[in-house]
Homo-oligomer: A and B are copies of this chain.
Amino acid sequence: MVDHQKVRTFTESIFQAIGCSETDAKLAADVLISADLNGVDSHGVARLAGYVRLYDHGRLNPKPNIQIVHETPSTATVDGDRGLGLVVAPWAMQLAKEKAERVGSGWVAVQNSNHFGIAGYHSSLALNKDMIGWAMTNAAPLVVPTFSKEKLLGTNPISVAIPADKQPAFLADFATTAVAYGKMEILQRQGKPAPMGWVQDAEGKPTAYNNAVKEGGGLLPLGGDREHGSHKGYGLGSVVDILSGVLSGANYGPWVPPFATAGFHGVAQQQVGKGTGHFLGAMRIDGFRPADEFKQNMDTWITRFRSAPAVEGEVVQIPGDQERNFRAERLKTGLPLNEKVIESLEELSKRFKIPFA
């Protein structure tokens, strides 16, 4: 277990070492540490070395000149100037909130960005203004459309954050696949098979092989197979891709660049747009009804759902509970970084002469 403050300080220093401003480095580190605190280990400091690799390969601009390239009172497209998605997305969300403040809602498509960390971090930025926040992003292709043998979509997460009154906020934040790719990597490390319904092989057949995605197979959309609604997961992942990629002028579908060149999926030969795309939104609650009324009703919603009788040995959770439970625990215990992650941080420590251990 490693204290999160220690990892945070180190992460900030690494981002500064590759040229980020202190403000940007603090923000980027906050997004990553939030993932680790919330139990989304795959999206936390485990990726710090990946961001540095992006920088090494000239795909990351540590001092981006983020700009609005097109706008109306409630919409905008932003060029992230190859900046860290961890920094570009909050910038875009701030713009969405300002638009919502003025005209009720704000929607910002982002082109020319990179991996933005956990979607829930960005959607949650709307909560302090009594707004509903939206965040989504496309990503490099790992997912097969229903009946396709070819991977054409990323795990394309979507997040919606909704404020409550005395209850904690509602936070939906999920990849539009049956399972996140990080879970496959865990099975690979453990040498365990995957449950059926997570992946298919190169022929498009169901498989339990934990390395199928690297060998021509693909992750299945949420729903798993057609009979269980995989066309719905495919549809939802497509909406995320189109709003994030096509609407913004970023890459989309099979052309979305991989997170870092260490990725096994190769770099797309062709570019149909600029970088990776995101889509952020903010809706002012009192654009629809008084915020107090709404938040009290949200408390009723949350407590009613929480009180549902659960199947034996389980509890009915509210979207966001899992992340909150992890956070409460890990603020006390520290972050359970695995050996490989610690190794990668120690390498960065050596390279940049910034103490970690």
Quick check: which of A53-61, A221-229, A327-335 contacts chain B, the rest being far away? A221-229
Output the nearest chain B residue to A72 by Cβ-Cβ distance. B104
A2-10, A12-20, A195-203 - interface stretch? A195-203
Residues A316 and B178 in contact, CB atoms below 8 Å apart:
no
Hey, which chain B residues are within 8 Å of A176, CB to CB?
A: 232
1/0 contact trace for A255-274 toward B, CB 8 Å?
00000000000000000110
**In the bound complex, CA of A162 to CA of B234 (Å):** 15
Partner of A172 from the list B77, B235, B314 (CB cut-off 8 Å) is: B235
User: Once the chains are docked, how many angstroms separate the CA of A283 from the CA of B107?
Assistant: 9
When chains A and B are docked, how far (Å) is the Cα of A309 from the Cα of B235?
Answer: 18
Contact of B228 with A283 in the complex, beta carbons under 8 Å: no
Chain A 161-178: CB-based contact to B (< 8 A → 1; otherwise 0): 010000000101111111
| Residues 68-108 (chain A) with a chain B CB within 8 angstroms | 70-77, 103-105, 107
Q: How many copies does the complex hold?
A: 2
A236 to chain B: closest residue by CB:
B172
Residue of B nearest to A315 (CB): B147
Of A28-36, A40-48, A240-248, A340-348, which stretch is located at the interface? A240-248
In the complex, the answer to whether B247 meets A148 with C-beta atoms within 8 Å is no
- Counting from the closest, the 8 A-B pairs by CB-CB distance are A72-B104, A75-B287, A204-B311, A172-B235, A75-B104, A147-B314, A148-B308, A73-B103
Min CB distance, A89 to chain B, in Å?
Answer: 16
Indicate if A310 sits at the interface (CB-CB under 8 A): yes
- Chain A interface residues toward B at CB < 8 A: 70-77, 103-105, 107, 109, 132, 145-150, 152, 160, 162, 170, 172-179, 195, 197-198, 203-205, 222-224, 227-229, 231-236, 238-239, 241-243, 246-249, 252-254, 272-273, 283-285, 287-289, 293-294, 297-298, 300-301, 304-305, 308-312, 314-317, 319
Which residues does chain B contribute within 8 Å of A304, judged by CB atoms?
A: 152, 253-254
Q: Which residue of B lies closest to A73 (CB)?
A: B103
**A70-B287 Cα distance, complex, nearest whole Å:** 7
9 CB contacts below 8 A, A to B, read A73-B73, A148-B305, A172-B239, A176-B232, A204-B312, A222-B222, A223-B223, A238-B319, A246-B298
Most-contacted residue by chain B among A76, A109, A235, A310 (CB, 10 A)? A235
Shortest distance between the CB of A299 and any CB in chain B (Å)? 10
The reply to whether B247 and A288 contact each other, CB–CB distance below 8 Å, is: yes
> A284 — which chain B residues lie within 8 A by C-beta?
72, 75
